[in-house]
Amino acid sequence: MTAGSAPRSVLEDGPRPALRAVRVRLGLVVVLFVLAGVGWWWTVGQMRGMDDGPWTALGAFGWFVLVWLVMMAAMMFPSVAPTVALYARMTRGRAPLSSPLFTAGYLLTWTAAGVVAWLLASGVGLLPGDPLAWDHSGRAVAAAALVLAGAYQLTPWKNVCLSKCRSPLGFLFGSWRDGPVGGLRMGVRLGGWCLGCCWALMLALFALGVMSVVWMAFVAALIAIEKTVPWRWAATYGIAAVLVVLGVLVLVAPTAVPGLTIPGATTMPMM
């Protein structure tokens, strides 16, 4: 099964085939949503009291990677569930372990991204002068990160990666590998396209407070919107505008951002 054997109309059919597959593989989708719910519940417990605002410290390596893995399951499973359902429908009866390994491969890519994020944060923490401190350059860097995330929404690279995420049938035809190991490889590849699509939104999460459940839910909602709503360009430009506005507010009036924890502030901003 290859991309060359599929008509162009199939490859560009958007999320509709995957959404139709949800009705057929509803049990699998329910399992993914339940796992996402458990992930949210566990993450809330782990992150309680840890939100220090922009550039919150990530903690010990093992603890952060575990929390990051559960966070990714909580944030990504709802939006990737239709693709997993479509894949499960296409492999029905041929390889029972393919769907779990497909999902595991997807999470493996995001886990690797978390490891890289921890290493980068640790490297920055070793620089003299604590450059990400709020009262140094942390505020300006957070604002710049948010504006960068908004600008990335409008780039050709974002468009290509988002197309893969929004057209699951085209992705599956173009990346097909048989068997459980093939499912794992396809999941890793889908995670790579998703990472290319969402890395800037994750950067925005770090800039707003990676240990904040409020901002975690906010970014998860943006990811779900851009991947599933039918008005693709409206979602893309709307999300870009929201991120740029947040960046400007963080720079000039951070207390006006609802839910933002200001590092070192004696009082919490109004929710």
Q: What pLDDT, on the 0 to 100 scale, is given for residue 61?
A: 95
pLDDT given at position 108? 96
pLDDT in tens, 91-109: 876 667 888 899 999 999 9
How does 227-252 read in b/e, with b if 16+ C-beta sit within 10 Å? bbeeebeebbebbbebbbebbebbee
Q: Establish if 267 belongs to a structural domain.
A: no
Q: Quote the pLDDT of residue 270.
A: 39
Asked whether residue 226 is domain-assigned, the answer is yes
pTM: 0.85
Q: In total, how many domains does the chain have? A: 1
Is residue 264 situated within a structural domain?
Answer: no
Residue ranges of the chain with per-residue pLDDT less than 50 = 1-12, 24, 266-271
Encoded tokens for 131: 């450059």
The whole domain housing 186 covers: 3-256
Residue 87 belongs to a domain: yes
State residue 263's pLDDT score. 84
Domain-located, residue 41: yes
What are the tens digits of pLDDT across the range 189-199?
A: 999 999 999 99
Residues 6+ apart with CB under 8 A from 271: 258, 259
Contact 157, 265 (CB under 8 A): no
CA angle at 62 for the pair 126 and 75, rounded to the nearest 5°: 100
CA torsion sign, 147 to 151 to 153 to 158? negative
Contacts of 266 (CB under 8 A, 6+ apart): none
**What pLDDT is stored for residue 196 in this prediction?**
94
Confirm whether 221 is domain-assigned. yes
Q: Kindly state whether residue 54 falls inside one of the protein's structural domains.
A: yes
* CA-based nearest residue to 87, from 76, 73, 101, 74: 101
**194 three-state secondary structure:** helix
Give a yes or no: residue 266 inside a domain.
no
Q: What is the pLDDT of residue 169?
A: 81
